[in-house]
């Protein structure tokens, strides 16, 4: 028997906590919002519900436990809420960026799971600490409510060894688990699944999924399974990103350290927080700002975007070769769904692969809630913009795992 349940999906940042409350039976979002500036002055909650006015309130939140308590109070309040009490929430699903070699699928939270997640801090330094704060905050504020972790790295565990192994001494892989893990797997999994539905099949499909946002990655998905992905040991690898450098010559790292006097920790911060679109443009990590600057004639903003679109084009070509063909290309996430100029530039010159973009449809496709084909009718390879829905995947994984625990 299918048990109806509400699942709270949480995505914790270092000073924020995004949430969505899902009605699993009806596959709809009942409420969503964000707690911002946690641990700082002027912390607040921004809460949205269908057909209700948005609720914004400044509330002190010294840590993530406080934020979860504010969230619970908002969800259960007669004025702002949508549930009578917390008994209606049967589980919490957490987005986790990196599960290392420990996790190849979503898991129920236990002390052992949390101990292993602590060991993954260095693999995603911008994310894991924040995830742990959110998880511990939920456990403290919601004792007894089942907690589930859904990992961005899990979908990529189907890569063959020659795709995930780096050409370093094998002993170092065995000692430190240094290998390609990938990221954004929950998003790649969702949009690849949607594309398979459009194609009417999973077996025999060769799909390239482009998750482009402040963090970006591209995956080659063959027969519904990942065979390669652009992010690597950490979410620093691959494409140029908002503040991350992506793939660079490794010798550059030691060169800069020697000449600038950086420690390893400082160099890591530099590559994660001062490079990418921000570093090249000298203006911003936000593509919207760069788009405005390009229109005003800013050459470095143009260069920053040109680097990104050139890299996307290279990945599409190389992954088509790796899969021995191509059936579809998907763009998703903040940039992928909303920046038509980047989509057009990335696909320009790929006519030899059978890709032809419809300039009118592409230019009109922004902030769509539905899947949109942006390639021409006679394009041999369909190109789609598919809005990602990582929270939907997390909610359903949480539902599945909690049900399996009850059997």
pLDDT for 14: 67
Distance CA 154, CA 104 (A): 5
* Per-domain boundaries in the chain: 6-151, 200-390
Contacts of 10 (CB under 8 A, 6+ apart): 17, 18, 19, 92, 93, 94, 95, 134, 138
Topology, domain 200-390: Nucleotidyltransferase; domain 5 (3.30.420)
Look at strands 225-229 and 107-108 and give their pairing: unpaired
The upper half-sphere exposure of residue 168, i.e. CA atoms within 13 Å in the direction of its Cβ, equals 15
Structure tokens at 359: 């300039």
At the top level of CATH, the class of 6-151 is alpha beta
pLDDT for 123: 82
Q: Which residues of the chain have pLDDT under 70?
A: 1-5, 14, 407
pLDDT for 72: 87
pLDDT for 51: 84
Distance CA 362, CA 338 (A): 10
Taking Cα atoms as reference points, which of 352, 354, 356, 358 lies closest to residue 340?
Answer: 358
Q: CB count, 10 Å around CB of 138? A: 26
Residue among 63, 122, 152, 306 flagged as catalytic: 152
Distance CA 38, CA 45 (A): 10
Q: For residue range 69-118, list pLDDT tens digits in order.
A: 898 899 988 888 888 888 888 899 999 988 888 888 899 999 999 999 99
Residues making up the chain, counted from first to last: 407
Q: For residue range 183-218, list pLDDT tens digits in order.
A: 899 999 999 999 999 999 999 999 999 999 988 999
Residue 366 near residue 291 (C-beta atoms within 8 A): no
Distance CA 362, CA 341 (A): 9
Note whether 6-151 and 200-390 share their fold. Answer: yes
Name the 3-class secondary structure at 266: helix
| Cα 194 to chain centroid, rounded | 16
pLDDT for 141: 82
Structure tokens at 1: 């028997």
Residue 329 near residue 356 (C-beta atoms within 8 A): no
Count the helices and strands in the chain (H runs, E runs): 15, 14
pLDDT for 3: 39
- Say whether 152 is catalytic: yes
């Amino acid at each position: 028997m299918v048990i109806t349940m509400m699942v709270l999906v949480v995505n914790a940042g270092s000073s924020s906590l995004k949430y969505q409350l899902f009605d699993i039976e009806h596959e709809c979002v009942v409420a969503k919002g964000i707690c911002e500036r946690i641990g700082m002055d002027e912390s607040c909650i921004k809460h949205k519900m269908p057909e209700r006015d948005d609720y914004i309130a400044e509330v002190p939140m010294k840590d993530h436990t406080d934020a979860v308590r504010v969230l619970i109070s908002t969800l259960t309040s007669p004025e702002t809420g949508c549930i009578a009490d917390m008994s209606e929430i049967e589980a919490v699903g957490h987005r986790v960026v990196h599960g290392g070699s420990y996790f190849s699928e979503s898991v129920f939270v236990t002390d052992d799971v949390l101990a292993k997640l602590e060991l993954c801090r260095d693999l995603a330094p911008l994310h894991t600490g924040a995830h742990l704060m959110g998880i511990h905050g939920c456990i403290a504020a919601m004792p007894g409510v089942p907690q589930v972790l859904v990992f961005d790295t899990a979908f990529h565990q189907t890569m063959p060894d020659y795709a995930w192994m780096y050409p370093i001494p094998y002993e170092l892989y065995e000692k430190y688990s240094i290998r390609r893990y990938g990221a954004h797997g929950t998003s790649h999994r969702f949009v690849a699944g949607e594309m398979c539905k459009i194609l009417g099949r999973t077996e025999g499909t060769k799909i390239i999924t482009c998750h482009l946002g402040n963090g970006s990655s591209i995956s080659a998905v063959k027969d519904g399974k990942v065979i390669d992905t652009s992010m690597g040991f950490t979410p620093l690898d691959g494409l140029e990103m908002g503040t991350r450098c992506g793939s660079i010559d490794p010798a550059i790292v030691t060169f800069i350290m020697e000449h600038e006097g950086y420690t390893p920790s400082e160099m890591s911060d530099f590559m994660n927080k001062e490079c990418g679109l921000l570093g090249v443009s000298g203006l911003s990590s936000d593509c919207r700002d760069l788009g405005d600057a390009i229109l005003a004639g800013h050459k470095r903003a143009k260069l920053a975007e040109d680097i990104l679109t050139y890299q996307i084009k290279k990945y599409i070509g190389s992954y088509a070769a790796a899969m021995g063909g191509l059936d579809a290309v998907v763009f998703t996430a903040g940039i992928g769904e909303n920046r038509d100029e980047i989509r057009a530039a990335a696909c320009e010159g790929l006519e030899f692969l059978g890709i032809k973009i419809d300039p009118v449809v592409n230019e009109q496709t922004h902030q769509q809630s539905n899947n949109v084909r942006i390639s021409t009718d006679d394009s041999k390879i369909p190109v789609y913009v598919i809005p990602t829905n990582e929270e939907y995947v997390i909610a359903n994984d949480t539902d599945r795992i909690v049900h399996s625990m009850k059997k």
